Amino acid sequence: MTAAEMVNKLDLQVFSGENGLDREVSGGYVSDLLSDVMGNADEGQVWITLQTHKNVMAIASLKELAAVILVNGHKPDEDAAAQSNEEDIPLLGTPLSAFDITGKLYELIHK
């Protein structure tokens, strides 16, 4: 599944990084601690978080993640969105909670 397909199926908002929507999604990781994501997320995963600042994109780029989904209706900081465009890593959003969007994504990936 590509990030674009995931956007359609989960009805996600695309804030930035559209050029990266062809990235392949291999799985997901849920955490709000950046150091935890640094240590434990794997390449190609979608990161689900409520953090909205620029460092999120630095970590996403370091770990070569497929996309980042901001939960609970959070919007990215301006410089985070700019960084996402630079790195071509989509920054996405949902009004759902981390629990709900994770459940839906898990079903999509593992069905």
- Of 22, 24, 38, 100, the residue at the interface with other proteins (CB under 8 A) is 38
**How far apart, in Å, are the Cα atoms of 3 and each of 33, 36, 73?**
23, 23, 19
Smallest distance from the beta carbon of 105 to other proteins, in angstroms? 25
Residue type, 56: V
Smallest distance from the beta carbon of 87 to other proteins, in angstroms? 9
Site string for other proteins, 43-62 (x = CB under 8 A): ----------x-x--x--xx
Instruction: Go through 27-55 and write b for each residue having 16 or more CB atoms within 10 A of its CB, e for each that does not.
Output: ebbbbeebeebeeebeebbbbbbebbeee
Which residues in this chain contact other proteins in the complex, by CB under 8 A?
Answer: 33-35, 38-39, 53, 55, 58, 61-62
